[in-house]
Amino acid sequence: MGNTCRYVVNAVGKCGETYYTQIDSKRELQNWIEDHKEKLILDELKVVDRKVPPFVNWLLRVRG
């Protein structure tokens, strides 16, 4: 059975720590970001939605 998470989060902390987590729902994602907001460099936060085709994720990253 494969991994069923929807969102993959890669982030860099203000003290150089790295965060990698997998989250199932958008609400959990928002809660995780809110809980860790003061520890993260928000410009370095990358969230990949695994339900969206990779090309669309790439376009969103280039535009954003």
Question: Where in the chain are the domains?
Answer: 7-62
- pLDDT of the residue at 62: 65
Q: What is the pTM of this model?
A: 0.76
CA–CA separation, 10 and 27 (whole Å):
17
Query: CB 12: neighbour CB atoms within 10 A?
Result: 17
Contact 59, 42 (CB under 8 A): no
Length of the chain counted residue by residue: 64
In the predicted model, is pLDDT for residue 64 greater than 70? no
Confidence of residue 63 (pLDDT cuts 50, 70, 90): low
Sequence-distant (≥ 6) Cβ neighbours of residue 46 within 8 angstroms: 9, 10, 11, 61
